[in-house]
Structure formats: C-alpha cells, structure tokens
Amino acid sequence: MLEISGPASWRITLPHTTAAVPIARALIRTALADIAVSADSDTAELLTAELVANAVEHTSGSSPIELVVELLETGCQVEVHDGDPAPPGDLSRPAPGAEPDPWHEHGRGLLLIRALSSECGHRPTEQGKAVWFTLPARSRPAGH
C-alpha cells in the first residue's frame, strides 16, 4: 500500500468525446486503488464522470479536456480543464427554481457535485476554465 508523504498529482489529456468519461473513471479508480489514506473512490469516480461529461457536452470539440488529480494527506482534488472560459453554473448553491425535473435525465451533475464533495468550484485558466471538487481522506481498514 502506498503511503502519501506529500502531494502526488497527474495531468492527463482526454479526448473531447464521450469516450473520455469511462477513461476518466478508470483513471480515478486506479489513482485511488493503492493508497492507504484516500477519498471514497466510488464518489470520486461519480463526480469525475459528471465533470468530464459536462465538459464534453457543454464545450466545443476543438480543444482537449484535461483531467488533473491531486492526492493529498487530507484527501484528493480533481479538476477538469476545458477550453471554454464560461463558468459552468453555480457550484455553491442551486439557483432559485433550478431544481432538476424528476422526469428528465439531465440536470443533476452540479447538484451531485455540490452535495457529495467537501468543496467545489471553478476558476479561469489560460486556455479556458477548470472545474474542481475535493473529497476528504478516509482511512481504509487494515488489509484492504
């Protein structure tokens, strides 16, 4: 099992297609698999998939998407970078009357990110924006 003594991070370029979503999920699962103190990998996979799917759906296909994962003693931070500088929506709280329609398949991604992460947000980058979330560390039982 890997003990983290300082930050470890990865930056991976993903295709600007729906194929990026399962790739990103596998990368997160692999990154969190062998460390002694990690975030909830199921939640990390779900939230990463939401961010990547949003980047694919809501941005132009002309620039790549980047997945940045940082593992810390306090948990993990995941960022998805895309080429569109427009903010993704309000990650701090839902807009009044913006609850997703229970009959529609879309519209729950930011809600999930807000509800399941310890922190989330977005920031401008030189090429567009980064949308991120953090998850707290949790100790795994011995032998796992």
Q: What is the pLDDT of residue 3?
A: 44
Q: Which of 72, 85, 76 minimizes the C-alpha distance to 120?
A: 76
pTM of the model: 0.81
CATH number of 8-139: 3.30.565.10
pLDDT recorded at residue 4: 43
Q: Do the Cβ atoms of 6 and 70 come closer than 8 Å? A: no
For residue 57, give the amino acid letter: E
**One digit per residue, pLDDT tens: the chain, 144 residues?**
344 445 688 899 999 999 999 999 999 988 887 565 566 889 999 999 999 999 999 888 778 899 999 988 788 999 999 999 988 865 655 555 555 555 445 556 778 898 899 999 999 999 999 999 999 987 655 555
Helices of type H across the chain: 20-33, 41-58, 109-116
Please, is 116 exposed, middle or buried when counting C-beta atoms within 10 Å of its C-beta (0-12, 13-18, 19+)? middle
Q: What is the pLDDT of residue 9?
A: 86
